[in-house]
Amino acid sequence: MNRTLQLGSIIGLMVVLLLAIIYIFKPSTSTQINTAEPIVDNVPAMKTSEPNKTPSKLDNATSEQNINQKELIQQREQLYKKFQDINTALSRGQQPDAGQISKMLEQQKQLVQSGIVPADEAISNAQFLKQILPVMQAQIHRHILQLEQLRHGAK
């Protein structure tokens, strides 16, 4: 009996020691979001003898393109969120609004035309919608055909 008690104590001590080691080397559970921070350069700018020039038309066009590109990327992210919301609603047994789906499909087509969303990805999303929304199969099929024309036109 005494031997069993000693063996139990040793096993218990080893388990506690093992748990302590695991706790010490366990990675932290808090997730950190890595955000890009701007790099600040402390070097003073060089001064030139040239007077300040107004931005050229090329600079304005580039700036407008960058703004337009950012807006299109935001639209793409919103579209992906809408797809996710529809998927979530369907998993809860709710049917999405047909008008909302039509607007999404049109927005998706515009994003494919602008080159923000690849045509193959848009076709895959539309095929998924076609499977889960049999009521709108005909409309979604027409949309897929339009996307395929855009895909072949881009190649």
pLDDT digits (tens, 9 = 90+) for 79-130: 889 888 888 888 888 888 889 999 999 999 999 999 989 999 999 999 988 8
Query: Residue 91 has which token pair?
Result: 């998993």
Residues 6+ apart with CB under 8 A from 140: 101, 105, 126, 129, 130, 133
Averaged pLDDT score across all residues of the chain: 78
Q: What is the pTM of this model?
A: 0.56
CA angle, residues 15, 21, 25, in degrees to nearest 5: 145
pLDDT of res. 143: 93
CA 62 to chain centre: 25
pLDDT of res. 57: 62
- Section 142-150 average pLDDT: 92
Residues 6+ apart with CB under 8 A from 143: 105, 108, 109, 126
pLDDT of res. 55: 54
Tell me: pLDDT of 70 over 50.
yes
